[in-house]
Amino acid sequence: MEYRTLGKTGLSVSVIGFGASPLGDEFRTTTAAERQSAVDAAIDAGINFFDVSPYYGRTLAEQRLGEALGARRSRVVVATKCGRYDVESFDFSAKRITTSIDESLRRLRTDYVDLLQAHDIEFGDYNQIAGETIPALRRIQESGKARFIGITGLPLTMMRRVAENAPVDAFLSYCRYNLLITDLDRLLMPFAQANGIGVINASPLHMGILTERGAPAWHPAPDNVKQAGGRVVELCRRRGVPAGAVALRFCVEHPHIATTLVGLSRPDHVQANVRAIEQPLDPELLREIEAAVGPAANVTWPSGRPENNDYDLGSQAAPGPDTSGGSPGA
């Protein structure tokens, strides 16, 4: 397993991270035995970064990750979140953030987390996030309950704007760098690198689109993106390689992404993903994938408050391709 340093934190993290949302039965019902095997298999394979949130399984994922890690918690890097508690339940106030970390620590059976992140900040008010939430996170860091702090979300310019005024240690971005989209490189990476902010990249399979099973019913991507993902999966099948393996390796090859988070709850997926990153990418296949994606490349969708989005997405889910190269609308 290869390790990279997360920004200026000094935390050395495995290039594949364990996304623990499936431990909260976000995708299907899991058993205690398979959750334990998945966590054991990950640690055995050298995966040392675990990402969770009170939102996943409405606290179940944190509880179960704490149980499965047990005494090995001190050997791994644990990241959790605060501010999002249900599909429509957000509270980024200093008061809530401050009680939230204590609840998370109890569930995770630890007295500190390595990274505490404000979860999906585009659902909050910019001024509150920069002026109240981040200062509260820094006070929690001073108390020793979190070693470092970060922010997560889908829109990227809001994360940059927040960090310009209220510095953070890490960004967690999802569905903005994988085989279907790479605008993370244009909208956030230059700022992150210039300021030594660690970048965590989630959803290499575009939340399931790049798998044989396809997108789950709730997936917010426009249809042309789902169809493009289907074409990529089919192309890879014809070439005899799993699309998920190509997709993961593509993300891991990015030198400035510290870790790529994959949702895991099955030991066979842990092993498949660890094997996947050992296979070099075939440049010819990559060219064919690019052609198969076509104009569905770099298409995202609205999330959170309209004013916090990167583009003027209107009321439609399909914003059109991001080919402007110019500055985003937000």
**Residue ranges in contact with ligand NAD by CB under 6 A:** 19-22, 27, 51, 119-120, 152, 172, 174, 202-208, 211, 244, 261-263, 269, 272-273
What is the DSSP pairing of strand 113-118 with strand 3-5? Answer: unpaired
**Nearest CB to ligand NAD, comparing residues 19 and 319:** 19
- Report the nearest approach of ligand NAD to the CB of residue 27 (Å): 4
User: Closest residue (Cβ) to ligand NAD?
Assistant: 19
Alpha helix positions (H), the chain: 32-44, 60-69, 94-108, 126-128, 134-143, 157-165, 184-187, 189-195, 223-239, 243-252, 267-276, 283-293
Q: How crowded is residue 88: how many other Cβ atoms within 10 Å of its Cβ? A: 7
The rounded radius of gyration (Å) of the Cα atoms in the chain is 19
The minimum distance between CB 244 and ligand NAD, in angstroms, equals: 4
Minimum Å gap between C-beta 154 and ligand NAD is 7
At residue 180, φ and ψ (nearest 5 deg) are -100, -15
Set 55, 56, 85, 112: catalytic member: 56
- CB nearer to ligand NAD: pick between 218 and 326: 218
Shortest approach of ligand NAD to residue 10 CB, angstroms? 22
| Comparison of 9 and 259: residue with beta carbon closer to ligand NAD | 259
Q: Quick count: other Cβ atoms within 10 Å of Cβ 99? A: 12
Q: Are 38 and 66 in contact (CB under 8 A)?
A: no
> Is 227 or 271 the residue whose CB approaches ligand NAD more closely?
271
Asked about 177 being catalytic, the answer comes back as no
CA–CA dist 184, 173 (Å, integer): 8
Which of helix, strand or coil describes residue 214?
coil
Question: Residue 326 CB, nearest distance to ligand NAD (Å)?
Answer: 26
| Contact criterion met (CB below 8 Å) for 91 and 83 | yes
Judged by beta carbon, residue 51 or residue 322, the one nearer ligand NAD is: 51
Residues noted as catalytic? 56
